[in-house]
Structure 1
Amino acid sequence: MDEWVENDRPVDFDHPLSFAKADMDLCFNRIDRKLRPRRENIHFPTGDLKAYSDSFDEARCLVMQGGQGEVKHWAFNDPPRRTGKWKNAPPSPAEYRKLGTRVVDLHPMTIIQNARTSGGGQVSLVPTSACTVGPLETWKSDRVSIWQAGCHDNPFGQRLTALMIAKKLPDASVPISLLADHPDVHFHYYRPGLGAVESGMH
Protein backbone atom coordinates (compact mmCIF):
# COMPACT_ATOMS: atom_id res chain seq x y z
CA MET A 1 0.00 0.00 0.00
CA ASP A 2 2.88 2.41 0.70
CA GLU A 3 6.55 3.08 0.26
CA TRP A 4 8.73 5.93 1.46
CA VAL A 5 10.11 8.47 -1.01
CA GLU A 6 13.47 10.23 -0.68
CA ASN A 7 15.06 12.49 -3.30
CA ASP A 8 12.01 11.99 -5.56
CA ARG A 9 12.51 8.20 -5.64
CA PRO A 10 11.05 5.32 -3.64
CA VAL A 11 13.58 4.18 -1.05
CA ASP A 12 15.73 1.15 -1.79
CA PHE A 13 14.83 -2.26 -0.41
CA ASP A 14 17.64 -1.98 2.13
CA HIS A 15 16.28 1.20 3.74
CA PRO A 16 15.66 0.36 7.43
CA LEU A 17 12.02 1.49 7.18
CA SER A 18 11.23 0.04 3.73
CA PHE A 19 7.65 -1.23 3.60
CA ALA A 20 8.54 -3.61 0.76
CA LYS A 21 11.34 -5.14 2.83
CA ALA A 22 9.08 -5.42 5.88
CA ASP A 23 6.33 -7.08 3.82
CA MET A 24 8.77 -9.61 2.40
CA ASP A 25 10.59 -10.30 5.69
CA LEU A 26 7.53 -10.43 7.95
CA CYS A 27 5.01 -12.03 5.60
CA PHE A 28 5.79 -13.39 2.15
CA ASN A 29 9.20 -14.93 2.87
CA ARG A 30 7.68 -16.85 5.79
CA ILE A 31 5.17 -18.61 3.55
CA ASP A 32 6.10 -22.05 2.27
CA ARG A 33 7.67 -21.61 -1.19
CA LYS A 34 5.04 -23.90 -2.74
CA LEU A 35 2.25 -21.64 -1.44
CA ARG A 36 3.94 -18.24 -1.72
CA PRO A 37 2.72 -15.87 -4.47
CA ARG A 38 5.15 -15.55 -7.34
CA ARG A 39 7.31 -12.44 -7.04
CA GLU A 40 5.81 -10.95 -10.22
CA ASN A 41 2.42 -11.06 -8.49
CA ILE A 42 3.56 -9.06 -5.46
CA HIS A 43 3.19 -5.36 -6.21
CA PHE A 44 4.44 -2.33 -4.30
CA PRO A 45 3.67 1.32 -5.15
CA THR A 46 7.13 1.97 -6.53
CA GLY A 47 8.24 2.87 -10.04
CA ASP A 48 5.29 3.16 -12.41
CA LEU A 49 2.44 4.29 -10.16
CA LYS A 50 -0.09 4.12 -13.00
CA ALA A 51 0.79 0.46 -13.55
CA TYR A 52 0.36 -0.16 -9.82
CA SER A 53 -3.04 1.54 -9.90
CA ASP A 54 -4.04 -0.39 -13.03
CA SER A 55 -3.26 -3.67 -11.27
CA PHE A 56 -6.47 -3.17 -9.26
CA ASP A 57 -8.36 -3.58 -12.56
CA GLU A 58 -6.34 -6.63 -13.63
CA ALA A 59 -7.16 -8.74 -10.58
CA ARG A 60 -9.96 -8.76 -8.03
CA CYS A 61 -8.86 -7.39 -4.66
CA LEU A 62 -10.89 -9.29 -2.08
CA VAL A 63 -9.47 -7.57 1.01
CA MET A 64 -7.43 -4.43 1.49
CA GLN A 65 -5.78 -4.67 4.91
CA GLY A 66 -4.65 -1.47 6.57
CA GLY A 67 -4.34 0.50 9.74
CA GLN A 68 -5.33 3.87 11.15
CA GLY A 69 -2.85 6.57 12.03
CA GLU A 70 -2.84 9.32 14.65
CA VAL A 71 -3.87 11.80 11.95
CA LYS A 72 -6.77 9.47 11.02
CA HIS A 73 -5.29 8.22 7.77
CA TRP A 74 -5.41 4.80 6.19
CA ALA A 75 -2.36 3.97 4.11
CA PHE A 76 -0.87 7.48 3.82
CA ASN A 77 -4.12 9.21 2.92
CA ASP A 78 -3.49 12.06 5.35
CA PRO A 79 -5.75 15.11 5.74
CA PRO A 80 -5.07 17.46 2.83
CA ARG A 81 -3.05 20.61 3.43
CA ARG A 82 -5.30 23.58 4.06
CA THR A 83 -3.84 25.70 1.28
CA GLY A 84 -5.01 26.87 -2.12
CA LYS A 85 -8.59 25.90 -2.88
CA TRP A 86 -8.73 23.92 0.37
CA LYS A 87 -7.58 26.78 2.57
CA ASN A 88 -10.97 27.40 4.18
CA ALA A 89 -12.52 23.94 3.93
CA PRO A 90 -11.29 20.44 3.13
CA PRO A 91 -12.33 18.76 -0.12
CA SER A 92 -15.69 17.05 -0.19
CA PRO A 93 -15.66 13.30 0.40
CA ALA A 94 -16.51 12.77 -3.28
CA GLU A 95 -13.56 14.92 -4.36
CA TYR A 96 -11.13 13.20 -1.98
CA ARG A 97 -12.26 9.78 -3.19
CA LYS A 98 -11.02 10.60 -6.71
CA LEU A 99 -7.40 10.53 -5.48
CA GLY A 100 -5.46 7.54 -6.75
CA THR A 101 -2.01 6.12 -6.05
CA ARG A 102 0.32 9.08 -5.76
CA VAL A 103 3.31 10.63 -4.01
CA VAL A 104 2.22 12.58 -0.95
CA ASP A 105 3.88 14.97 1.48
CA LEU A 106 3.27 13.54 4.92
CA HIS A 107 1.57 15.29 7.81
CA PRO A 108 3.98 16.10 10.68
CA MET A 109 1.95 13.86 13.00
CA THR A 110 2.44 10.95 10.59
CA ILE A 111 6.20 11.47 10.58
CA ILE A 112 6.31 11.59 14.38
CA GLN A 113 4.06 8.52 14.66
CA ASN A 114 6.34 6.49 12.40
CA ALA A 115 9.40 7.63 14.31
CA ARG A 116 7.70 6.42 17.51
CA THR A 117 6.39 3.10 16.17
CA SER A 118 9.12 2.06 13.72
CA GLY A 119 12.10 4.41 13.89
CA GLY A 120 13.14 4.08 17.50
CA GLY A 121 12.19 7.72 18.07
CA GLN A 122 14.54 9.01 15.36
CA VAL A 123 12.36 11.61 13.63
CA SER A 124 15.17 12.49 11.22
CA LEU A 125 15.20 8.87 9.95
CA VAL A 126 11.60 9.05 8.70
CA PRO A 127 11.15 10.33 5.13
CA THR A 128 8.72 13.21 4.70
CA SER A 129 7.16 11.86 1.48
CA ALA A 130 5.72 8.53 0.42
CA CYS A 131 3.89 6.71 -2.36
CA THR A 132 0.47 5.58 -1.23
CA VAL A 133 -2.52 3.69 -2.55
CA GLY A 134 -5.48 6.06 -2.85
CA PRO A 135 -9.20 6.00 -2.24
CA LEU A 136 -9.64 5.30 -5.96
CA GLU A 137 -8.01 1.88 -5.54
CA THR A 138 -9.44 1.30 -2.07
CA TRP A 139 -12.97 1.43 -3.45
CA LYS A 140 -12.04 -1.32 -5.94
CA SER A 141 -11.50 -3.70 -3.03
CA ASP A 142 -14.41 -5.90 -2.00
CA ARG A 143 -13.64 -5.40 1.68
CA VAL A 144 -11.51 -2.97 3.70
CA SER A 145 -10.11 -4.44 6.90
CA ILE A 146 -8.62 -2.04 9.47
CA TRP A 147 -6.51 -3.44 12.30
CA GLN A 148 -6.52 -1.33 15.46
CA ALA A 149 -3.58 -2.46 17.57
CA GLY A 150 -3.72 0.53 19.91
CA CYS A 151 -0.19 1.75 19.18
CA HIS A 152 -0.87 3.75 16.01
CA ASP A 153 -3.79 5.77 17.33
CA ASN A 154 -5.08 6.70 20.76
CA PRO A 155 -8.22 5.51 22.59
CA PHE A 156 -10.25 8.56 21.57
CA GLY A 157 -9.18 8.36 17.93
CA GLN A 158 -10.05 4.69 17.64
CA ARG A 159 -13.55 5.38 18.91
CA LEU A 160 -14.02 8.58 16.88
CA THR A 161 -13.54 6.92 13.52
CA ALA A 162 -15.66 3.90 14.43
CA LEU A 163 -18.46 6.32 15.37
CA MET A 164 -18.09 8.40 12.20
CA ILE A 165 -18.17 5.32 9.99
CA ALA A 166 -21.07 3.72 11.88
CA LYS A 167 -23.10 6.95 11.76
CA LYS A 168 -22.09 7.60 8.13
CA LEU A 169 -20.37 10.93 8.78
CA PRO A 170 -17.57 11.07 6.15
CA ASP A 171 -15.31 14.11 6.36
CA ALA A 172 -12.04 14.55 4.43
CA SER A 173 -10.41 16.21 7.45
CA VAL A 174 -10.74 12.77 9.11
CA PRO A 175 -9.79 10.72 6.04
CA ILE A 176 -10.52 7.23 7.33
CA SER A 177 -14.11 8.36 8.03
CA LEU A 178 -14.62 8.30 4.25
CA LEU A 179 -14.83 4.52 4.59
CA ALA A 180 -18.38 5.19 5.80
CA ASP A 181 -19.28 5.11 2.11
CA HIS A 182 -17.48 1.82 1.35
CA PRO A 183 -19.91 -1.13 1.21
CA ASP A 184 -17.86 -3.52 3.38
CA VAL A 185 -15.59 -2.23 6.14
CA HIS A 186 -14.39 -4.27 9.13
CA PHE A 187 -12.55 -2.84 12.14
CA HIS A 188 -10.58 -5.31 14.26
CA TYR A 189 -9.44 -4.28 17.73
CA TYR A 190 -6.70 -5.62 19.95
CA ARG A 191 -8.61 -5.25 23.21
CA PRO A 192 -5.65 -4.47 25.51
CA GLY A 193 -4.69 -1.74 23.03
CA LEU A 194 -8.11 -0.13 22.94
CA GLY A 195 -7.47 1.74 26.18
CA ALA A 196 -9.79 4.17 27.94
CA VAL A 197 -10.68 7.77 27.15
CA GLU A 198 -9.72 9.47 30.36
CA SER A 199 -7.59 12.38 31.49
CA GLY A 200 -4.69 12.00 33.87
CA MET A 201 -1.02 12.81 34.19
CA HIS A 202 1.40 9.92 33.65
Structure 2
Amino acid sequence: MPRPISKLAEGWWDYTTLEADLLQDAARLSAKDLEQLSRPGFTVRIYDTPQELYTAQALEYLNAWKQSTSDNPVGICGPVGPTEQLPLVAQMVNALDMNLGKLDAHFWGMDEWLENGVPVEESHPLSFARCDNTQCFDRIREELAMPTANKHFPSGDLQAYSDSYDQVRCALMQGGQGEIKHWAFNDPLPREGQYADAPPTPEEYRKLATRIVKLHPVTLIQNARTSGGGNVSMIPTHAATVGPQETWKADAVSIWHPGHHDNPFGMRLSALMISKKIADSAVPMSLLADHPEVRFSFLRSGIGDVVVDMH
Protein backbone atom coordinates (compact mmCIF):
# COMPACT_ATOMS: atom_id res chain seq x y z
CA MET A 1 0.00 0.00 0.00
CA PRO A 2 1.47 3.40 -0.96
CA ARG A 3 2.54 5.64 1.88
CA PRO A 4 0.50 8.79 2.43
CA ILE A 5 1.49 12.11 0.92
CA SER A 6 2.89 14.53 3.50
CA LYS A 7 0.42 17.00 4.97
CA LEU A 8 3.30 19.41 5.59
CA ALA A 9 5.14 19.52 2.26
CA GLU A 10 4.02 17.23 -0.56
CA GLY A 11 7.48 16.96 -2.08
CA TRP A 12 9.08 15.68 1.13
CA TRP A 13 9.05 12.77 3.55
CA ASP A 14 8.14 13.44 7.18
CA TYR A 15 6.24 11.97 10.11
CA THR A 16 2.81 12.59 8.54
CA THR A 17 3.60 9.77 6.09
CA LEU A 18 3.65 7.18 8.89
CA GLU A 19 0.84 4.73 9.62
CA ALA A 20 -2.12 6.33 11.40
CA ASP A 21 -2.08 3.74 14.21
CA LEU A 22 1.45 4.69 15.23
CA LEU A 23 0.60 8.40 15.25
CA GLN A 24 -2.47 7.73 17.39
CA ASP A 25 -0.48 5.62 19.84
CA ALA A 26 2.01 8.47 20.29
CA ALA A 27 -0.74 11.04 20.83
CA ARG A 28 -2.21 8.98 23.67
CA LEU A 29 0.96 8.86 25.79
CA SER A 30 0.86 10.60 29.16
CA ALA A 31 3.88 12.02 30.96
CA LYS A 32 3.88 8.89 33.14
CA ASP A 33 3.82 6.75 30.00
CA LEU A 34 6.90 8.59 28.71
CA GLU A 35 8.87 7.64 31.81
CA GLN A 36 7.95 4.00 31.27
CA LEU A 37 9.42 3.98 27.76
CA SER A 38 12.94 3.50 29.15
CA ARG A 39 14.64 0.25 28.15
CA PRO A 40 18.24 -0.99 28.04
CA GLY A 41 20.03 1.46 25.77
CA PHE A 42 17.31 4.12 26.01
CA THR A 43 16.72 6.21 29.13
CA VAL A 44 13.95 8.75 29.68
CA ARG A 45 14.50 11.39 32.37
CA ILE A 46 12.06 14.13 33.43
CA TYR A 47 13.14 17.28 35.29
CA ASP A 48 10.73 19.40 37.30
CA THR A 49 12.31 22.84 36.80
CA PRO A 50 14.22 24.63 34.03
CA GLN A 51 17.11 25.14 36.45
CA GLU A 52 17.44 21.39 37.02
CA LEU A 53 17.14 20.62 33.30
CA TYR A 54 19.76 23.07 32.05
CA THR A 55 22.12 22.42 34.95
CA ALA A 56 22.03 18.71 34.15
CA GLN A 57 22.65 19.48 30.49
CA ALA A 58 25.62 21.72 31.32
CA LEU A 59 27.09 19.08 33.61
CA GLU A 60 27.26 16.67 30.69
CA TYR A 61 29.86 18.95 29.10
CA LEU A 62 32.01 18.86 32.22
CA ASN A 63 31.56 15.12 32.72
CA ALA A 64 32.83 14.54 29.18
CA TRP A 65 35.77 16.94 29.47
CA LYS A 66 37.00 15.61 32.80
CA GLN A 67 37.63 12.25 31.07
CA SER A 68 40.09 13.90 28.69
CA THR A 69 43.88 13.71 28.94
CA SER A 70 46.67 14.73 26.60
CA ASP A 71 47.21 11.03 25.84
CA ASN A 72 43.52 10.30 25.32
CA PRO A 73 41.63 13.45 24.33
CA VAL A 74 37.87 13.45 24.76
CA GLY A 75 35.17 15.84 23.62
CA ILE A 76 31.47 16.54 23.37
CA CYS A 77 29.37 17.54 20.38
CA GLY A 78 26.82 20.16 21.34
CA PRO A 79 23.75 21.85 19.87
CA VAL A 80 22.57 25.39 19.38
CA GLY A 81 19.00 24.74 20.43
CA PRO A 82 18.83 24.47 23.36
CA THR A 83 21.32 27.25 24.15
CA GLU A 84 20.40 27.92 27.77
CA GLN A 85 23.06 25.47 28.96
CA LEU A 86 25.95 27.32 27.32
CA PRO A 87 26.50 30.16 29.85
CA LEU A 88 26.14 27.60 32.65
CA VAL A 89 28.96 25.53 31.15
CA ALA A 90 31.27 28.55 31.21
CA GLN A 91 30.25 29.44 34.75
CA MET A 92 30.95 25.91 35.97
CA VAL A 93 34.32 25.69 34.21
CA ASN A 94 35.38 28.98 35.81
CA ALA A 95 34.08 28.05 39.25
CA LEU A 96 35.88 24.70 39.24
CA ASP A 97 39.10 26.06 37.67
CA MET A 98 38.80 23.37 35.00
CA ASN A 99 41.73 23.91 32.63
CA LEU A 100 40.36 22.76 29.29
CA GLY A 101 43.67 23.32 27.53
CA LYS A 102 45.61 21.20 30.00
CA LEU A 103 42.98 18.47 29.71
CA ASP A 104 43.17 18.65 25.90
CA ALA A 105 39.36 18.75 25.90
CA HIS A 106 37.52 19.05 22.58
CA PHE A 107 34.20 20.37 21.32
CA TRP A 108 32.28 19.82 18.09
CA GLY A 109 29.57 22.13 16.83
CA MET A 110 26.78 20.17 15.17
CA ASP A 111 25.96 22.32 12.19
CA GLU A 112 26.26 25.67 10.44
CA TRP A 113 24.18 27.70 8.00
CA LEU A 114 25.16 28.16 4.36
CA GLU A 115 24.56 31.17 2.17
CA ASN A 116 25.41 31.06 -1.55
CA GLY A 117 26.90 27.63 -0.99
CA VAL A 118 29.39 28.85 1.62
CA PRO A 119 29.23 28.45 5.41
CA VAL A 120 28.39 31.76 7.05
CA GLU A 121 31.13 33.67 8.88
CA GLU A 122 31.04 33.98 12.67
CA SER A 123 30.05 37.61 12.17
CA HIS A 124 26.69 36.42 10.77
CA PRO A 125 23.95 36.95 13.38
CA LEU A 126 22.63 33.40 12.89
CA SER A 127 26.04 31.67 13.03
CA PHE A 128 26.02 28.66 15.33
CA ALA A 129 29.77 28.93 15.91
CA ARG A 130 29.22 32.55 16.95
CA CYS A 131 26.57 31.42 19.44
CA ASP A 132 28.79 28.71 20.94
CA ASN A 133 31.65 31.16 21.35
CA THR A 134 29.75 34.19 22.63
CA GLN A 135 27.48 32.21 24.94
CA CYS A 136 30.11 29.79 26.26
CA PHE A 137 33.74 29.73 25.20
CA ASP A 138 34.38 33.50 25.25
CA ARG A 139 33.08 33.55 28.85
CA ILE A 140 35.68 31.07 30.09
CA ARG A 141 38.71 32.64 31.75
CA GLU A 142 41.66 32.88 29.38
CA GLU A 143 43.93 30.66 31.45
CA LEU A 144 41.28 27.89 31.38
CA ALA A 145 40.23 28.28 27.75
CA MET A 146 39.93 25.53 25.18
CA PRO A 147 42.51 25.92 22.38
CA THR A 148 40.98 27.10 19.13
CA ALA A 149 42.35 23.99 17.40
CA ASN A 150 40.24 21.83 19.72
CA LYS A 151 36.98 23.42 18.60
CA HIS A 152 35.59 21.77 15.50
CA PHE A 153 32.85 23.36 13.42
CA PRO A 154 31.42 22.08 10.10
CA SER A 155 32.25 25.33 8.37
CA GLY A 156 35.41 24.56 6.41
CA ASP A 157 36.80 21.23 5.28
CA LEU A 158 33.88 18.90 6.01
CA GLN A 159 36.01 15.79 5.50
CA ALA A 160 38.51 17.05 8.08
CA TYR A 161 35.61 17.74 10.45
CA SER A 162 34.31 14.20 9.94
CA ASP A 163 37.78 12.69 10.35
CA SER A 164 38.21 14.41 13.71
CA TYR A 165 35.69 11.95 15.21
CA ASP A 166 38.25 9.23 14.50
CA GLN A 167 41.08 11.22 16.07
CA VAL A 168 39.33 12.24 19.31
CA ARG A 169 36.82 10.20 21.31
CA CYS A 170 33.39 11.80 21.34
CA ALA A 171 32.02 10.85 24.75
CA LEU A 172 28.64 12.39 24.05
CA MET A 173 26.63 13.96 21.27
CA GLN A 174 23.98 16.28 22.64
CA GLY A 175 21.07 17.56 20.63
CA GLY A 176 17.65 19.06 20.60
CA GLN A 177 14.72 17.81 18.54
CA GLY A 178 13.29 19.94 15.77
CA GLU A 179 9.67 19.95 14.69
CA ILE A 180 10.59 17.75 11.74
CA LYS A 181 12.08 15.23 14.24
CA HIS A 182 15.71 15.86 13.40
CA TRP A 183 18.88 16.07 15.45
CA ALA A 184 21.36 18.59 14.05
CA PHE A 185 20.04 19.13 10.50
CA ASN A 186 19.44 15.48 9.71
CA ASP A 187 16.09 16.22 8.10
CA PRO A 188 13.90 13.82 6.12
CA LEU A 189 14.78 13.74 2.44
CA PRO A 190 12.79 15.09 -0.51
CA ARG A 191 10.29 12.72 -2.09
CA GLU A 192 12.02 12.46 -5.45
CA GLY A 193 14.22 10.23 -7.61
CA GLN A 194 14.90 6.85 -6.04
CA TYR A 195 12.97 7.99 -2.96
CA ALA A 196 9.80 9.02 -4.79
CA ASP A 197 7.79 6.08 -3.44
CA ALA A 198 9.57 5.29 -0.17
CA PRO A 199 12.07 7.12 2.02
CA PRO A 200 15.62 5.79 2.42
CA THR A 201 15.90 2.66 4.50
CA PRO A 202 17.34 3.20 7.98
CA GLU A 203 20.51 1.47 6.81
CA GLU A 204 20.85 3.88 3.87
CA TYR A 205 20.23 6.96 5.99
CA ARG A 206 22.70 5.91 8.69
CA LYS A 207 25.49 5.84 6.10
CA LEU A 208 25.20 9.63 5.63
CA ALA A 209 28.20 11.56 6.95
CA THR A 210 28.82 15.27 7.51
CA ARG A 211 27.41 16.97 4.44
CA ILE A 212 25.58 19.94 2.97
CA VAL A 213 21.81 19.53 3.12
CA LYS A 214 18.71 21.21 1.77
CA LEU A 215 16.40 21.88 4.68
CA HIS A 216 12.82 20.72 5.03
CA PRO A 217 10.33 23.63 4.88
CA VAL A 218 9.22 22.88 8.45
CA THR A 219 12.81 23.34 9.63
CA LEU A 220 12.91 26.77 8.00
CA ILE A 221 9.69 27.78 9.74
CA GLN A 222 10.89 26.46 13.09
CA ASN A 223 14.19 28.33 12.95
CA ALA A 224 12.41 31.51 11.92
CA ARG A 225 10.15 31.08 14.96
CA THR A 226 12.91 30.31 17.46
CA SER A 227 15.68 32.55 16.12
CA GLY A 228 14.20 35.24 13.89
CA GLY A 229 10.86 36.36 15.26
CA GLY A 230 9.10 34.44 12.50
CA ASN A 231 10.96 36.12 9.62
CA VAL A 232 11.34 33.08 7.32
CA SER A 233 12.93 35.18 4.58
CA MET A 234 16.10 35.60 6.68
CA ILE A 235 16.60 31.84 7.23
CA PRO A 236 19.07 30.09 4.86
CA THR A 237 17.70 27.12 2.94
CA HIS A 238 20.88 25.01 3.23
CA ALA A 239 23.27 24.04 6.00
CA ALA A 240 26.24 21.82 6.81
CA THR A 241 25.46 19.18 9.39
CA VAL A 242 27.03 16.35 11.31
CA GLY A 243 25.67 13.05 10.04
CA PRO A 244 24.55 9.71 11.42
CA GLN A 245 27.98 8.30 10.53
CA GLU A 246 29.66 10.57 13.09
CA THR A 247 26.76 10.22 15.53
CA TRP A 248 27.34 6.47 15.75
CA LYS A 249 30.98 7.18 16.71
CA ALA A 250 29.79 8.96 19.86
CA ASP A 251 29.65 6.83 22.99
CA ALA A 252 26.19 8.17 23.81
CA VAL A 253 23.53 10.50 22.40
CA SER A 254 21.68 12.86 24.74
CA ILE A 255 18.58 14.73 23.49
CA TRP A 256 17.09 17.62 25.48
CA HIS A 257 13.40 18.53 25.33
CA PRO A 258 12.55 21.82 27.10
CA GLY A 259 9.26 21.92 25.20
CA HIS A 260 9.72 24.92 22.90
CA HIS A 261 11.62 23.36 19.99
CA ASP A 262 9.21 20.56 19.24
CA ASN A 263 5.61 20.13 20.35
CA PRO A 264 3.93 17.67 22.76
CA PHE A 265 3.03 15.27 19.96
CA GLY A 266 6.46 15.28 18.35
CA MET A 267 8.31 14.62 21.60
CA ARG A 268 6.07 11.64 22.28
CA LEU A 269 6.40 10.22 18.77
CA SER A 270 10.20 10.03 18.68
CA ALA A 271 10.38 8.65 22.22
CA LEU A 272 7.85 5.94 21.39
CA MET A 273 9.60 4.96 18.16
CA ILE A 274 13.02 4.73 19.82
CA SER A 275 11.62 2.78 22.76
CA LYS A 276 9.86 0.28 20.49
CA LYS A 277 12.78 0.20 18.01
CA ILE A 278 10.64 1.46 15.15
CA ALA A 279 13.17 3.08 12.81
CA ASP A 280 11.90 5.07 9.82
CA SER A 281 13.92 7.74 8.03
CA ALA A 282 10.80 9.89 7.61
CA VAL A 283 11.38 10.47 11.34
CA PRO A 284 15.18 10.78 11.46
CA MET A 285 15.26 10.88 15.26
CA SER A 286 13.75 7.40 15.30
CA LEU A 287 16.94 5.99 13.75
CA LEU A 288 18.58 6.45 17.15
CA ALA A 289 16.65 3.32 18.13
CA ASP A 290 19.69 1.40 16.90
CA HIS A 291 22.30 3.47 18.77
CA PRO A 292 23.60 1.60 21.84
CA GLU A 293 23.17 4.47 24.33
CA VAL A 294 20.50 7.17 23.98
CA ARG A 295 19.03 9.48 26.63
CA PHE A 296 15.96 11.73 26.38
CA SER A 297 15.59 14.48 28.99
CA PHE A 298 12.29 16.34 29.31
CA LEU A 299 11.18 19.42 31.23
CA ARG A 300 7.94 18.32 32.89
CA SER A 301 6.10 21.57 32.18
CA GLY A 302 7.10 21.32 28.51
CA ILE A 303 5.65 17.85 27.95
CA GLY A 304 2.12 19.19 27.63
CA ASP A 305 -0.86 17.21 26.35
CA VAL A 306 -1.99 16.20 22.88
CA VAL A 307 -5.56 17.47 23.13
CA VAL A 308 -7.84 19.84 21.28
CA ASP A 309 -7.43 23.25 22.93
CA MET A 310 -8.85 26.09 20.87
CA HIS A 311 -7.12 29.49 21.14
Work out which of the two has the higher radius of gyration on C-alpha atoms and give 1 or 2: 2
Whether 1:85 and 2:194 are equivalent positions in the alignment is yes
* Counterpart for residue 123 of structure 1: 232
> Alpha-carbon deviation of 1:33?
2.5
SS at 1:187's partner residue?
strand
> Alpha-carbon deviation of 1:21?
0.2
Q: What pairs with 1:155-166 in structure 2 (closer than 5 Å)?
A: 155-166=264-275
Question: Which segments of 5 or more consecutive residues in structure 2 lack a partner in the other structure?
Answer: 1-109
* Counterpart for residue 137 of structure 2: 28
Whether 1:172 and 2:294 are equivalent positions in the alignment is no
Which digits, 9 at most, give the CA deviation of each residue in 1:5-63, with x for residues without a partner? 00010011111110000011112122233332111100100110000000000000000
* Counterpart for residue 16 of structure 1: 125
* Counterpart for residue 299 of structure 2: 190
- How high is the TM-score relative to the length of structure 2? 0.64
* Counterpart for residue 103 of structure 1: 212
Rounded to whole Å, the distance in 1 between the matches of 2:252 and 2:260 is 23
> Alpha-carbon deviation of 1:196?
1.1
- How high is the TM-score relative to the length of structure 1? 0.98
**Percent sequence identity over matched residues?**
64
> Alpha-carbon deviation of 1:194?
1.3
Whether 1:65 and 2:174 are equivalent positions in the alignment is yes
Aligned with 2:164 (options 48, 52, 55): 55
Pick the structure with more helix per residue.
2
Q: What amino acid is aligned across from residue 49 of structure 1 in structure 2? A: L
Q: What amino acid is aligned across from residue 160 of structure 1 in structure 2? A: L
Question: Which segments of 5 or more consecutive residues in structure 1 lack a partner in the other structure?
Answer: none
* Counterpart for residue 7 of structure 1: 116
Q: What amino acid is aligned across from residue 157 of structure 2 in structure 1? A: D
Q: What amino acid is aligned across from residue 175 of structure 2 in structure 1? A: G
Rounded to whole Å, the distance in 1 between the matches of 2:145 and 2:294 is 26
Q: What amino acid is aligned across from residue 205 of structure 2 in structure 1? A: Y
Which digits, 9 at most, give the CA deviation of each residue in 1:165-197, with x for residues without a partner? 001001000000000000000011112111111
Which digits, 9 at most, give the CA deviation of each residue in 1:75-116, with x for residues without a partner? 000001110000000011010000000000000000000000
CA-based RMSD of the aligned residues comes to 0.8
Moved more, 131-140 or 35-44: 35-44
Q: What amino acid is aligned across from residue 57 of structure 1 in structure 2? A: D
Aligned residues: 202
Whether 1:139 and 2:259 are equivalent positions in the alignment is no
SS at 1:34's partner residue?
helix
